[in-house]
Amino acid sequence: MSGEIVEKVVSYVVSNIVDNPDEVEIEVVEDGDDAVVAEVRTAKSDMGRVIGRRGRVAKAIRTVARAAGDEEGLGRGPRRPGRVSRLTRARW
């Protein structure tokens, strides 16, 4: 499982939010058998746009990334109540 769909979706969303899309870097790292972590790096001036007020934009990006991961067959393991899937943790 490579996370290609997750990378493309996150890259598309983030690049369309920021003022400097050329400085957006997305790195998807496998984290276990069925999970990936999407690391997003932007220009310092764009970090606030990607995070959003109270993290709302970041949360929306995580939701879209989770849906992309589901399409790719990631993150379908058993869930513990109150725990966020590893797929949805992005490092900003």
Among all chains, which residue has been given the structure tokens 């999970």? 35
Among all chains, which residue has been given the structure tokens 């957006």? 24
- CATH of residue 55's domain is 3.30.300
Highest mean pLDDT among 2-11, 16-25, 72-81: 16-25
In this model, does residue 17 exceed pLDDT 90? yes
Among all chains, which residue has been given the structure tokens 């490092």? 91
CA–CA distance, 56 with 30 (Å, rounded to integer): 25
**For the chain, how many structural domains are there in total?**
1
Q: What is the mean pLDDT of the chain?
A: 81
Residue 90: pLDDT band (50, 70, 90) is very low
What domain range includes position 26?
Answer: 4-88
Enter the pTM of the model: 0.76
pLDDT in tens, 73-89: 876 544 444 334 444 44
